[in-house]
Every structure is written in structure tokens, then in C-alpha cells.
Amino acid sequence: MPKETALSLRVTKALKAELEKVAHNEGRSISQVCEALLSSGLESYKKEGSPYLQRFITRKRRGV
């Protein structure tokens, strides 16, 4: 499927480094890794709804 638009976001240095490691290990670009992770997360959100997302947001707020 052709790409039609861009998406930019800011992340921590640590998250970027982890994404770079995954991309390197998989022989993929960071963009491909992020798209795969976002797509799988979105599919999980569609199945579970708000509780899926709240698990991660609550954890981040608590510093876990």
C-alpha cells in the first residue's frame, strides 16, 4: 500500500534508542518498525477499547 502522509512525533532518547535496536536487529527501518508497532497496537485497541490504552497511560503517569 503506498504511503500517502507523514506522521511526526517526539519521543525520549531512550525510546528512540530501543526502536533503533529493534530496527537494526530486524533489518528494517525505524519507520517500518514504528508502523508495525502502531498497527498492532491499533488492532489491539479496536478489540479491547479504552482499557487497552489506559494500561499504558496509567503506568506512565505512575512512573512504572
Angle at 48 between CA 33 and CA 26, to 5 degrees: 15
Total structural domains within the chain: 1
8 in a domain, yes or no?
A: no
5 in a domain, yes or no?
A: no
Range of the domain at 47: 13-62
CA–CA gap between residue 49 and residue 24 (Å, rounded): 32
CA–CA gap between residue 55 and residue 25 (Å, rounded): 27
Q: Give residue 63's pLDDT.
A: 58
Q: Give residue 59's pLDDT.
A: 60
Q: For 6-64, what is each residue's pLDDT tens digit?
A: 999 999 999 999 999 999 999 999 999 999 999 999 999 999 999 998 988 876 555 55
33 in a domain, yes or no?
A: yes
Contact 20, 30 (CB under 8 A): yes
55 in a domain, yes or no?
A: yes
6 in a domain, yes or no?
A: no
Q: Give residue 51's pLDDT.
A: 92
